Amino acid sequence: MKFSDQNGILSAQIPQAAGFTMSSPQPLTSLNNKRILLGISGGIAAYKSAELIRRLMDHGADVRVVMTRAAQEFITPLTLQALSGNPVHTELLDPEAEAGMGHIELARWADLVLIAPASADLMARLAQGKADDLLTTLFLATPAQVVLAPAMNQGMWRNASTQANAKLLEERSVTLLGPAEGSQACGDVGPGRMLEPDELAALTAQQFQSGLLAGKKVVITAGPTREAIDPVRYISNHSSGKMGYALAEAAAEAGATTILISGPTQLATPDRVQRLDVTSAQEMYDATMASLEGCDLFIASAAVADYRPAQLAEQKIKKTGQDTMTIELVKNPDIVTAVAASQPKPYTVGFAAETQDVVSYARGKLERKKLDLVIANDVSQAGIGFNSDRNAVTLVWPTDEETLAENSKTQLARDLIARISAKIT
């Protein structure tokens, strides 16, 4: 936000969101997956903060709330907790907070700190660098961008001290949104009203760059499946899940709402990813089909067992005197084929882990299963593929191919998401 000086009074020049109108707001995809720490200071405009929480969450933001003591005189923490779905933080030295996230962790958590309303008193304390409550402490501690939505009586906004504080905060890279002009609770008319929640949400979205997959829903399968023979034995494979987890992380980084359906692994869940744990191929199939509503992109990177034992022994199978043992196997459901046949169909990506004729087999899989892309890799090569942190792949589209040289799975995942996003956005 910029200010112009008219007769010694700063006049707000509020940037408008591209395509934003109050009567027909556009989807704010750049808010998807973003962590917004909403600070609320004391003022009658605090009642608007409840609606602001809803608007931010409607566009995919995760919102946590910090309130000053004065703010609690205007709206209750319980109301905002119910709306945000998260505990509301009110005290600097709250034993529960310090035992959990802690105020420093809360400062690190945020992608952006939005203080709405920002009272004249709070702006003065922020300008002075005070840290005498939780909100002012977070302001000093956070590495995130800070945005203020001033709200106060028109006389307080026009006062030279408030104007000086506003200029000083802007010089320190704090963004001010508003205030707007109009009638106020006290009966005065003039600048000082907090912007409306819809407009604040749109202007907050402008603070972020839209990711490649902003506003998209991505479902990814990863890891192996285990097909039980008896209560202690199973059929499985060598998949570590590392490629699928890297893809989930890259998709979330690109702004997508990301669901990771994972077979048994020892990997930590990527940040901002919803993880569904499954064991068998049937469980993975069920979880996948249940997650398809609204799905824009499906990536089948899991190494799903093609077959499972026809009968599951209820007790551990004991050794016999015979040298051989026969287990009858039956086919598992083909997850990626089922997704490709679903309506509406998401952009469907399969993996082909091969040991010979890699591209030929991948193209056959692409055509047979009616996929949009197959990512093929040669698992016979030492140092890449299963259980490795590195990989090299060939992308096989219906009319094109591209080879990505060996790289870390983390970087390779980013490269893959960039190429896939170009096809679906």
- Which contacts qualify for 342-348: CB closer than 8 Å, 24 or more apart? 342/289, 342/292, 346/219, 346/292, 346/295, 346/296, 346/297, 346/298, 347/296, 347/297, 347/298, 347/372, 347/373, 347/420, 347/423, 347/424, 348/298, 348/300, 348/372, 348/373
Ramachandran sector of residue 57 (left: φ over 0; alpha: ψ -120 to 50; beta: rest): alpha
Instruction: Outline where 172-317 has alpha helix (H).
Output: 197-205, 242-253, 281-290
Rounded Cα distance between 194 and 198, Å, is 12
- Confirm if 59 and 202 have CB atoms less than 8 A apart: no
Clarify whether 295 is annotated catalytic.
no
Burial 266-280 (b: 16+ CB within 10 A, else e): ebeebebbebbebbb
Q: Can you spell out the DSSP letters for 21-60?
A: -SSSPPP-GGGTT-EEEEEE-SSTTHHHHHHHHHHHHHTT
DSSP designation for 316: P
In the set 186, 312, 329, 418, the catalytic residue is 186
Rounded Cα distance between 154 and 39, Å, is 22
Pick from 259, 258, 246: nearest CA to 213? 258
Question: Residue holding tokens 């005197």?
Answer: 321
Question: Residue 365: which H helix or E strand, with range?
Answer: helix 358-368
Residue 76 carries which side chain, given as an amino acid letter? T
Residues acting as catalytic residues: 186
